[in-house]
Structure 1
Amino acid sequence: MNLRHIEVFHAIRLAGSINAAADRLNVSQPALSRTLKHAESLLGFKLFDRVKQRLVPTKEAELLFAEAKDVQVALERFRTLARNLGRNPDNVLRVGFLPSLGVGLAPKVVSKLPQHWEGFKLELFTHHYDVLVKRLLALDLDLAVGFSIVETPGINSTTVGTMSLTYLETDGPGAVVDPSPMDLREIDMNSFVGLEGESPVGVFLKDAFERVGVAYEPRISVHTYSVAAACVSQGVGCAIVDEFSARFTRGVRLRPLTPPLQFTITALTAENRPISNAEDMFIKILKSACTELHQES
């Protein structure tokens, strides 16, 4: 079977009839029927039985369908990549940030751009790490900004700065910095708002707590630092968040952690394409912005 056979088989399996599959693929019904018959002749067995004007997949077809889904996903990824190769103008830079970095770091970077760029357009996105990687590999993003928690095949990373994690607890109307450290072993999990354990940051926190003999079992699990910080600002327990999210949250007390927890902030690019001059300049601005934010803290 070639790709066309697989595409037709996949469409019929999803649609349940020749008519609906032909509409889905924008081809004539006779052409689709001929392609199906050709595929069945090559295989030596039937893929569908006709039952009450519907095509019901055979057992063999159901086994093939599981593999056909993966082929279709790969084919769609190929089409997206091909489309993106010719779509993006040279003067548009598409950059993705993790949500926490989008709050504190992205505005700082944007504020520095007019000093360096003229005639460039910037598109900013915020996504979780797995979505950033997926879009980079599809060339749907030029650059992403994340943490160096895991190494990902096909992705290059350049260190641009560091970020510390901070303990947050409810306080007055503003964000108050308390220099007295908070020991991880003293954090009460019954009032803790934590990052869900399957995310890279959640795994990092889980490992950090386990190293000091504490089981990572937050009472409330969330997916972003900003939500955790917002919960604390409303009097919902305590949390550990990045320093950028903490800085922009009102009604909380910020305390350093002991032992300290720190991430490296990295610029991420796809391994299969060279870095443009615009991307190289953006990375330099990222480094400068990270340095300035630490000087301000």
Structure 2
Amino acid sequence: MDPIAKELTVGGAGDERQIAALVRGATNPRDVLPGFVWLGGYRSDMTGSKAEALCRHAGEQGRASLRFDYSGHGASGGDFRDGTISRWLEESLAVFTQLSSGPQILVGSSMGAWIALRLVQELRKTGDGGRVAGLVLIAPAPDFTHELMEPELTEAQRQALARDGFYEEPTPYGPDPNVFTRALFEDGRKNRVLDGLIETGAPVHIIQGMADPDVPWQHALKLIEHLPSDNVTLTLIRDGDHRLSRDEDISRILAAVDSIPPSA
């Protein structure tokens, strides 16, 4: 079964945005295996190699799979510069609740791991936390604005944030510069997860490259300190970069999702 393209309107009057998603239903007749929900990184879209591999893997096993683009990303509407963690979390919550059913494994990459952790927190508030069968977090960057970026801001960048509300910097991941807004930083503080215990109620598998130039591997260790569950696995890849998109990296990701049992 090929994925089906769907669109979802998220947001209230004057703030609606069209969120594009690709949905594949489960074909396993017993429907016992949890599906996969992909949560991408900052400026990534749902057609990346890891998302594609996860969708194919789901199809081979008869699992459901769901991937989508945040507003301002890929095929979704909205202006990227309007994006904040709260905004993208709102979209993730809407997509999860309206386009998936039953148990799901959240697979979050970089910023998507932060959103996955916040998504679990919000689902647990509404009594739907039990639908999260597990989390696979790839190069997780929770609280990256506060923990990783703010301490490294140059004086010129601080001035640009105060004066213009944003600053730009080149990125090795594409031709266009990254844009970071004052709203992203301010909203990031409101969504911090590394300021207390993170109750997931599900197994967590973290995969982190030790040669990651964007998220140091020590950040993954810090995240583990905030996960009270004993069911947390950390895989460190000595020569792994931030993308973790090599064939051997993707194999580790697929093995991680397969390690989460249906009864979790």
Rg larger for? 1
Could you tell me the TM-score, scaled by structure 1's length? 0.29
Bigger relative contact order (CA 8 A; separation at least 6): 1
Specify which structure has the higher proportion of helix.
1
- TM-score (structure 2 length as normaliser): 0.32
